[in-house]
Homo-oligomer: A and B are copies of this chain.
Amino acid sequence: MDDMDTRPIGVFDSGIGGVTVFKEIRKLLPNENIIYYADTARVPYGPRPTEEIIRFSLDAVDFLLKQQIKLLVIACNTVSAVAFDAILAHTDIPVIGVIEPGTRSVVSRSGIHKLGLIATEATVRSGEYQKRLTQEEPNLQLITKACPMLVSLIEEGWGNTEISKLVIQKYMEDMKGADLDGLILACTHFPVIRAQIEEYLGPDVQIIDPAEETAKELERVLQERKLLHPAEGEASIRFYVSDKPEKFKSIVEKILDPRDIRQVSLT
């Protein structure tokens, strides 16, 4: 038991998107205690300037570090794309972003020659995915599209409505005609509306969600660093938000196991 560590894992997103990563972590590592922090007062981060995203992210990291987390998962593509290095420089605990696992989930598949990528404006503009994917797969054809309104819609609790369906069509019209092999959901909000996206693009386009690979990466790092939680008792799950805890709860209850979302506190 000396190699075990009961301290919580910190999971950070600007809003509710990161719960799609949280969900995969819960599936794979049910014994881990988790503290999830959502900066709901300042969501969305995607349209913000780089220096602002970095500043807000470090605020969030400071909050989580005070909660004695053993490892930080940045469950947000925007923050992973823009503020990863700043966060690494800011703390000594291990940090896992979603972009490296996201890239791996593309590369590990066969038959992906033409890939669509949907994300926030900041993620697309950062070029991080484009750089990493091209390093791994120099012949990959990549079509990127910033879809900021999809983030706002999901934060509003309007995913999987007629409205989100129309917005998907509006953003992805060109991709539908582009004969894609796959589409990477390069924003952690988008798995919430995965079924609508799949329906629109049809069965020939593989949908790639980095969340699953991120949870696997987390398991690897916990094992390697001997940080796994001993397998006993029920995990403690806490959510903190910087604004509107009730709204957060009511939306996230539809995505997660309701038992996981009992404790939502305002920071």
Give chain A's interface residues, CB within 8 Å of chain B. Answer: 41-43, 47-49, 52, 148-149, 152-153, 156, 158, 162-163, 166-167, 170
Residues of B within 8 A of A52 (CB): 42
Residue from B47, B49, B156, B162 in contact with A149 in the complex, judged by beta carbons closer than 8 Å: B156
Residues of B within 8 A of A42 (CB): 48-49, 52
Assess whether B149 is in contact with A153, with CB atoms less than 8 Å apart.
Answer: yes
CB pairs A–B below 8 angstroms (10 shown): A41-B49, A42-B48, A42-B49, A42-B52, A148-B152, A148-B156, A152-B152, A158-B170, A163-B166, A163-B170
Residues of B within 8 A of A158 (CB): 149, 170
Residues of B within 8 A of A156 (CB): 148-149
In Å, the complex CA distance between A180 and B47 comes to 36
Q: How many protomers of this protein does the assembly include?
A: 2
Residues of B within 8 A of A148 (CB): 152, 156
In Å, the complex CA distance between A48 and B163 comes to 24
Main secondary structure, interface of A, reads helix
What is the chain B residue whose CB lies nearest that of A40? Answer: B47
Residues of B within 8 A of A48 (CB): 42
Give, as a whole number of angstroms, the nearest-CB distance from A173 to chain B.
13
In Å, the complex CA distance between A146 and B52 comes to 25
In Å, the complex CA distance between A80 and B71 comes to 43
Q: Name, among A43, A152, A158, the residue most crowded by chain B CB atoms within 10 Å (CB to CB).
A: A152
In Å, the complex CA distance between A128 and B48 comes to 28
Give, as a whole number of angstroms, the nearest-CB distance from A198 to chain B.
20
Assess whether A166 is in contact with B170, with CB atoms less than 8 Å apart.
Answer: no
In Å, the complex CA distance between A162 and B166 comes to 8
Give, as a whole number of angstroms, the nearest-CB distance from A266 to chain B.
13
Residues of B within 8 A of A162 (CB): 166
Give, as a whole number of angstroms, the nearest-CB distance from A9 to chain B.
28
What is the chain B residue whose CB lies nearest that of A52? Answer: B42
User: 12 other contacts beyond A152-B152, A166-B166, with CB at 8 A cut-off?
Assistant: A42-B49, A42-B52, A43-B47, A148-B152, A149-B152, A149-B153, A149-B158, A158-B170, A162-B166, A163-B166, A163-B167, A163-B170
